[in-house]
Chain A
Amino acid sequence: MTAFATRIAILRNKTRALWRETKSSFLIAIFLALILTTAALLAEWRGAVDANDAIEALREGRDVAVEANGWPETILARVAFLAARSEIDRARALVEALDRSASIEARARGHYLLANALLRKAFDHIERSELEAANPFVNLAKREYRRALQLAPDYWDAKFNLDVAARIVRDFPDFERNSGDELSADPKKLWTDIPGKPKGLP
């Protein structure tokens, strides 16, 4: 018991001596580390403010260039801007950039915005009675909605709009399925059809 107590005391004295020796350099190191952390946080805050300025501009309808590896929120704001103006190809490039890095929610929203743009384009064609041209847009939109739902199964807006898209062009399986997981869901094995727009009585 006493040997143990002595050992404890020796250990405590050694620790104290070590603390006295290293205290000065330890304090300096802590100070420098905290300075660096503060600088990094301030830089992050500065970046966030810039990003919010860009988002504000995009929401008001002014186009601002964004970096493909920037803040996901900024990229999403620009995707929304492009999608509202039917610039599908440029929006798709940004959504693909999001897919590489952003969070699940941001990716789901990117696919949803892209799908909405595609479906609005299909509506344009349908209103001009260009049913053949509308068909691929509807199918692309359905694929994007499905992607969004695969990422975020509780995305109710995506569910609703997928419902809308699926009623424009129905999928019909081209054969009876019976044996489960060996079956592929190859889009070529589905045939799609668009119901004709009634043109009124003859």
Chain B
Amino acid sequence: MRIACLALVLAATLPACAQETTVRIRSARPFGYFVGDLIHARVDVSAPADAVLSRASLPNPGPLTGSLDLRDVKLSETSENGAHLWRLDLTYQNFYVALDARDIEIPGFELSISTATGARTIAVPAWRIGVSPLREVAPRKQEQASDYLRPDGSSAFVNEATPLNLAFASGAAALLALLLVARDRAWPPFQQRKARIFSALAREISTRRSADDATLAATIQSVHRGLDRANGPILLSGDLPEFLRRHPEFKPLRSDFEQFFETSKRLFFGGESSMDDDCAAEQLAQFVSKLARQERSG
């Protein structure tokens, strides 16, 4: 709520204990309210530190007079310099139809507080705001009486674009979900899909090489396991022609296959221990990546 500080400030004149309790009323502006406008007012009540405000004495929202409603009451409590401060944010609504600019009275009310010395009431005095007319006193002559009124206005339509767009989006998402389900269950057109054995193998080998814990023997073994998986039964060098007949996509790699089996035989059965590890590992990695490429194209 915007409260201009220049607003009217009323100090309550309580004769007996004027130095102890004060009441300040500020309003956003004290003039220029039309019929139906909301009037925001802030009432600051300060009292001795030990005082307790009775909530029941707060004004109740509802009609105050024939032309003034109290809509909302908000209370906040603070302490300041040993004094208790209650801040009441009041929202009124003006229904006074002014014929000319004039002041109307916002009625005061009383708050009860109890202190060590007993219960007391604090009077929040009545204050005035200026209301303004909305039309001139003698409007121009109209042909029909109902022409003095603002028109009914035309009826609004229901928003039908939003549900339609949402339905399209949701339908598209449902189709996507259906595709995912079909892929998951290998329904057509996904029944041909096979595991990418060599792609996974190529990834594994490259991570192992970058982590520098690759021995040539272990790498060759894992390539053997990959070939076995692709073949079904274990693939030996003698089974190569049969394997290439069943997997024609690997035919261009026949010489690489033969070289691989040769290397493997020399390492495991030839008793050779002075192989150039780095060079062989590089060749092996190239072989596997070629296999992966053929696998994807197949």
Task: Judge if B148 is at the interface, Cβ distance under 8 Å.
Answer: yes
Interface size class of B (residues with CB under 8 A): 35 or more
Q: Which one of B34, B134, B152, B171 contacts A83 once the chains associate, using CB atoms below 8 Å? A: B152
The verdict on A98 contacting chain B, using a C-beta distance below 8 Å, is: no
Quick one: which of B105, B126, B159, B167 contacts A41, CB cutoff 8 A?
B167
> When the two chains form the complex, which single residue of A71, A146, A157 contacts B158, counting CB atoms closer than 8 Å?
A71
A95 within 8 A of B: no
Flag if A48 contacts B163 (CB, 8 Å).
yes
Size of interface on A: residues with Cβ below 8 Å to B: 68
Assess whether B107 is in contact with A160, with CB atoms less than 8 Å apart: no
Which residue of B66, B144, B154 has the most chain A CB atoms within 10 A of its CB atom?
Answer: B66
Contact with A along B170-193 (1 / 0, CB 8 A): 110110011011001100000000
Query: Would you call A183 and B64 a contact (CB within 8 A)?
Result: yes
Chain B residues with Cβ below 8 Å from A74 are 158
A31 touches B170 (CB 8 A): no
Q: Please name all residues of chain A whose beta carbon is closer than 8 Å to the beta carbon of B34 when the two chains form the complex.
A: 159
B97 lies within 8 A of chain A by Cβ: yes
Residue contact B178 to A31, C-beta cutoff 8 Å? yes
Mask: chain A, 142-166; 1 = CB below 8 Å from B; 0 = not: 0000100110011111111111101
Please tell me if the beta carbons of A146 and B95 are within 8 angstroms of each other in the complex. Answer: yes
The answer to the question of B74 belonging to the interface, with a C-beta cut-off of 8 Å to chain A, is no
Q: Does B89 contact A (CB under 8 A)?
A: no
- Bound together, the chains give a CA A162 to CA B99 distance in angstroms of 13
Which of B35-43, B200-208, B257-265, B278-286 makes up part of the contact surface? Answer: B35-43
Residues on B with C-beta less than 8 A from A49 are 160
**A93–B84 CA distance with the chains assembled, in angstroms:** 51
Please determine whether B126 and A45 come into contact, CB atoms closer than 8 angstroms: no
User: Contact partner of A73 among B63, B66, B150, B158, CB < 8 A?
Assistant: B158
Q: Does B271 contact A (CB under 8 A)?
A: no
- Is B163 in contact with A44, judged by CB distance below 8 angstroms? yes
Tell whether, in the assembled complex, residue B93 and residue A37 are in contact, meaning their CB atoms are under 8 Å apart: no
* A117 to B: closest C-beta gap in Å: 9
Least CB distance from B167 to A in Å reads 4
17 inter-chain pairs at a CB distance below 8 angstroms, sorted by A residue, are A38-B170, A55-B157, A73-B157, A109-B153, A123-B144, A123-B146, A150-B93, A156-B150, A157-B153, A158-B36, A161-B149, A162-B35, A166-B35, A167-B97, A171-B66, A181-B62, A181-B107
Query: Given contacts A48-B160, A77-B155, could you give 4 more A-B pairs where the C-beta distance is less than 8 Å?
Result: A27-B177, A31-B178, A127-B145, A185-B66
Residues on B facing A (Cβ under 8 Å): 34-38, 59-60, 62-67, 69-71, 93, 95, 97, 99, 105, 107-110, 126, 133-135, 144-146, 148-160, 163-164, 166-167, 170-171, 173-174, 177-178, 180-181, 184-185
Give me the 5 closest cross-chain CB pairs, A-B, nearest first.
A185-B63, A166-B97, A41-B167, A34-B174, A123-B145
